[in-house]
Structure 1
Amino acid sequence: MSILTMDKVKTIKTLNDIAQSGLNVFNNDRYMVDKDSEHPDAIVVRSFNMHDLELDSNLKAIARAGAGVNNIPVDKCTERGIVAFNTPGANANAVKELVLTTLMASSRNLFDGITWAKTLEGETEVAKRVETGKKQFVGKEIKGKTLGVIGLGAIGALVANDALRLDMDVVAYDPFISIDAAWSLSRKVHRAMSIEQVFAESDYITVHVPLTEDTKDMFHEEVFRLMKPGVHILNFSRDGLINEEDMAAALESGKVGKYITDFPNENVLKMKNAVPIPHLGASTQESEENCAIMAARQVKEFLETGNIKNSVNFPNASLPYTGKPRVAAFHKNVPNMVGQLSTAISEYDLNIADMVNRSRGDYAYTMIDIDNEVNGDIIPGLEAKIKEIEGIVTVRTF
């Protein structure tokens, strides 16, 4: 390990109860987990709203043990040079299982049937009442039906593959599918050439995309007209993807047969044939542990080597850590920045052994390994020199 690496104990602050299996990642003498720390090096959080929280000048990273980062002031973090991580895919299996469970249960009118059966408590001849009353809950089997999957990330790909195993036909649309997702997807999944094709062909539609300006209200009156009568729509992504006024009208008319959502609110609870799930998509012991472990490992890797994976505001960047002295700079994405960093290092008669530079929008991140033994006295001067460069946001040495 380089003489520049981790010269003091790093403090990790938690803003929610984080699974112990995740906190155990920091179980060595270089770290201290302290939920009350006022000057943490990193924060691990689940749902705590951080928007009104003062961000200490010592803070270097925030890791969300989950996928969504709406509770983190991402833009503020970027301006301050604080990495914001999330954990995509860590809860994918949990969400997939709930999607398939509710798909089958709603198709068989299971939720309505159970609710009705409970009303028979205290009645006489319950068994007879059940036999005569069950006719109102006759449902449909999913075998042979078409499931439309919009978004083929970690969750969408799992849903598509397992739906095939349930003898469904699957048509999917994702213009931005990643290479990893493409490799994991079964060849039997039919690729839709447009999202309208998914709307038109599907008996059931499940959506797995982030909420952005482009996807907000993507389910609205006009697209409902393209769908089969009685289509079931499952939303385990974000409530803002659905225009709730149009959804209520489509449910009332029967154009949409069921709306299954993990995001109940006052409007959803009033909708006919809506199935409100109390945000249970990732609520499993396994999912919480997976998210906590993944978040902690990403923070630990960043604090010890500068490598970044699954950041929502910094570019992902990785350089194998060999123990050589390392400089990591977060800076504006402007011309000649790498040249200026190289010049600053050369002024101390240091050679560059390896380097990586990655950009993301208006910002970029550069890591440089130095091919010299470095006297510790050089480091403060080098850091000060680099900080003088216009456009530099933060500098760290390892």
Structure 2
Amino acid sequence: MSTVALDKVKTIKTLNNIAERGLNVFNNENFTINNDSENPDAIVLRSFNMHAMEFGDNLKAIARAGAGTNNIPVDKCTEQGIVVFNTPGANANAVKEMVLTTLMASSRNLFAGIAWTKTLEGEGDQVPKLVEAGKKQFVGKEIKGKTLGVIGLGAIGALVANDALDLDMDVIGFDPFISVDTAWNLSRNVQRAMTIEELFANSDYITVHVPLTDDTRGMFNQETFGIMKEGVHILNFSRGELVNEDDMAVALENGKVGKYITDFPNENTLKMKNTVSIPHLGASTNESEENCAVMAARQVKDFLETGNIKNSVNFPNASLPYTGKRRVAVFHKNVPNMVGQITQAISSYHLNIADMVNRSRGEYAYTMVDIDNEVNGDIIPGLSEKIAQINGIVTSRVI
């Protein structure tokens, strides 16, 4: 367990090149960016692998400027009371555009056609005749009137579904965990699949936008291919491990899968028939990198200054309007009577509670308590230490 007072200049460390717009969020007297710091208040990164790192006792937050957090030891951070943020939706438009681009290009055999045309270099005046003679091998199909299945209707999936409707496609969506916010943004013309098998059976094209979990690993496999239409196109801009690559190779060879578009190339995908291997470009736009950096920085800044949490992958989201009065923020085990013990410790200092919030996530919970009294000085002497003595407290700080 640890106790922290936050009324000092906060040190931010970056482990990758972070867009300047994001760093500018910390451009005030309350923050300093120091990439040589051994014990910063927060770390902002993109793809740097943190699994071998040791964390100082001052580290309170890690923000990934992107959606995935596989490069961060999330479980270790949780045990040490370090909040881990990501930036869902910040790169959604970039990925959506790539999905729709490759959807159309692969349907028209554009990638294979361009590669073939390059082989005609050196044929001189014969190139136009060779093109006319050879183009028939690349005859494609239009996407208008075809059915697109969208697995996962989060920030990216919802955008893909809505725009595909505007391209005159029929759209089937499957997401048993769809959020209220996403449901509001999703067109009513998106058909709802009650099971993923229903989506598999009725889609000409399938795009997947779900995280990698034990349940989704290898979800595209021999069994599920057997449910799909002959010649289905599959687009994977989520995680390579969602696909059983041995089964995919067989399905491509026998024509069950017509095309496989993946943003996660490896030695296997490079050998597969009718596969377009993209060098992980889904979110690689200047706009996306800036959006992710700004979102990550703002979440870190808000957490360090107010204790509020949004888009954490290991802490519960929690928010209280910040009035500038003292706030006690406590991360603790999710067990009975924790809130009672915390408020009792506060009351023992003859402090009135103005407002509070408690949110839980699995085995852990997060409590913020606003103090009504005017408190002079940097901290309430001894309060964090007293709270830290409660069994089950992970971290405690007074803001």
User: What TM-score range do you get, normalising by the shorter chain?
Assistant: over 0.9
SS at match of 2:273: coil
1:35 Cα deviation (Å)? Answer: 1.6
Aligned pairs for 1:219-368 (under 5 A) are 219-368=220-369
Instruction: Summarize deviations over 1:88-122 as a string: whole Å, max 9, x none.
Output: 00000000000000000000000000000000000
Contact 1:251–1:273 under 8 Å retained in 2: yes
- State yes or no: 1:163 paired with 2:171: no
In the alignment, what sits opposite 2:16? Answer: 16
Structure 1: distance between partners of 2:190 and 2:119 = 42
Structure 1: distance between partners of 2:88 and 2:397 = 26
1:299 Cα deviation (Å)? Answer: 0.1
In the alignment, what sits opposite 2:32? Answer: 32
* Count, aligned residues: 395
Aligned pairs for 1:65-104 (under 5 A) are 65-104=65-104
Structure 2: distance between partners of 1:373 and 1:172 = 53
Contact 2:152–2:208 under 8 Å retained in 1: yes
Structure 1: distance between partners of 2:277 and 2:266 = 8
1:378 Cα deviation (Å)? Answer: 6.3
- State yes or no: 1:183 paired with 2:184: yes
Structure 2: distance between partners of 1:340 and 1:334 = 11
SS at match of 1:379: coil
Contact 1:6–1:30 under 8 Å retained in 2: no
The 1:378–1:33 alpha-carbon spacing in structure 2 relative to 1, beyond 3 Å, is closer
Contact 2:218–2:243 under 8 Å retained in 1: yes
Structure 1: distance between partners of 2:28 and 2:169 = 49
Contact 1:352–1:370 under 8 Å retained in 2: yes
Structure 1: distance between partners of 2:295 and 2:258 = 38
Structure 2: distance between partners of 1:371 and 1:349 = 11
TM-score (normalised: structure 1): 0.98
SS at match of 1:251: helix
Structure 2: distance between partners of 1:16 and 1:79 = 25
In the alignment, what sits opposite 1:199? Answer: 200
1:9 Cα deviation (Å)? Answer: 1.0
Compute the RMSD of aligned alpha carbons: 1.1
* Aligned-pair identity (%): 79
In the alignment, what sits opposite 1:119? Answer: 119
Structure 1: distance between partners of 2:213 and 2:232 = 25
Given residue 193 of structure 2, which amino acid in structure 1 is its aligned partner?
A
Contact 1:50–1:72 under 8 Å retained in 2: yes
Runs of 4+ in 1 over 2 A off after TM superposition: 4-7, 375-378
SS at match of 2:380: helix
Structure 2: distance between partners of 1:330 and 1:193 = 38
Structure 2: distance between partners of 1:211 and 1:7 = 39
1:33 Cα deviation (Å)? Answer: 0.9
Given residue 102 of structure 2, which amino acid in structure 1 is its aligned partner?
T
Structure 2: distance between partners of 1:135 and 1:105 = 16
Contact 1:11–1:40 under 8 Å retained in 2: yes
SS at match of 1:269: helix
Given residue 159 of structure 1, which amino acid in structure 2 is its aligned partner?
V
1:327 Cα deviation (Å)? Answer: 0.1
1:6 Cα deviation (Å)? Answer: 4.8
1:36 Cα deviation (Å)? Answer: 1.6
Structure 2: distance between partners of 1:296 and 1:379 = 28
In the alignment, what sits opposite 2:45? Answer: 45
The 1:63–1:378 alpha-carbon spacing in structure 2 relative to 1, beyond 3 Å, is closer
Contact 1:5–1:304 under 8 Å retained in 2: no
Contact 1:148–1:199 under 8 Å retained in 2: yes
Given residue 176 of structure 2, which amino acid in structure 1 is its aligned partner?
P
Contact 2:60–2:83 under 8 Å retained in 1: yes
Contact 2:11–2:40 under 8 Å retained in 1: yes
Instruction: Summarize deviations over 1:174-228 as a string: whole Å, max 9, x none.
Output: 0000001100000110001110011000000000000000100001101101111
Instruction: Summarize deviations over 1:94-152 as a string: whole Å, max 9, x none.
Output: 00000000000000000000000000000131011000000000000000000000000
Structure 2: distance between partners of 1:318 and 1:377 = 23
SS at match of 2:213: coil
Contact 1:328–1:368 under 8 Å retained in 2: yes
Given residue 327 of structure 1, which amino acid in structure 2 is its aligned partner?
V
In the alignment, what sits opposite 1:105? Answer: 105
Structure 2: distance between partners of 1:378 and 1:16 = 34
TM-score (normalised: structure 2): 0.98
Contact 2:5–2:397 under 8 Å retained in 1: no
1:375 Cα deviation (Å)? Answer: 3.3
Structure 1: distance between partners of 2:244 and 2:189 = 32
In the alignment, what sits opposite 1:56? Answer: 56
1:323 Cα deviation (Å)? Answer: 1.2
1:377 Cα deviation (Å)? Answer: 7.5
1:380 Cα deviation (Å)? Answer: 2.8
1:5 Cα deviation (Å)? Answer: 8.2
Structure 1: distance between partners of 2:311 and 2:250 = 39
Structure 2: distance between partners of 1:50 and 1:41 = 16
Q: Which runs of 5+ in 1 are unaligned?
A: none
Contact 2:5–2:379 under 8 Å retained in 1: no
Contact 1:330–1:392 under 8 Å retained in 2: yes
Aligned pairs for 1:120-135 (under 5 A) are 120-124=120-124, 125-135=126-136
The 1:335–1:21 alpha-carbon spacing in structure 2 relative to 1, beyond 3 Å, is same
SS at match of 1:223: helix
Is 280-289 or 377-386 further displaced after alignment?
377-386
Contact 1:327–1:368 under 8 Å retained in 2: yes
The 1:35–1:378 alpha-carbon spacing in structure 2 relative to 1, beyond 3 Å, is closer
SS at match of 2:301: helix
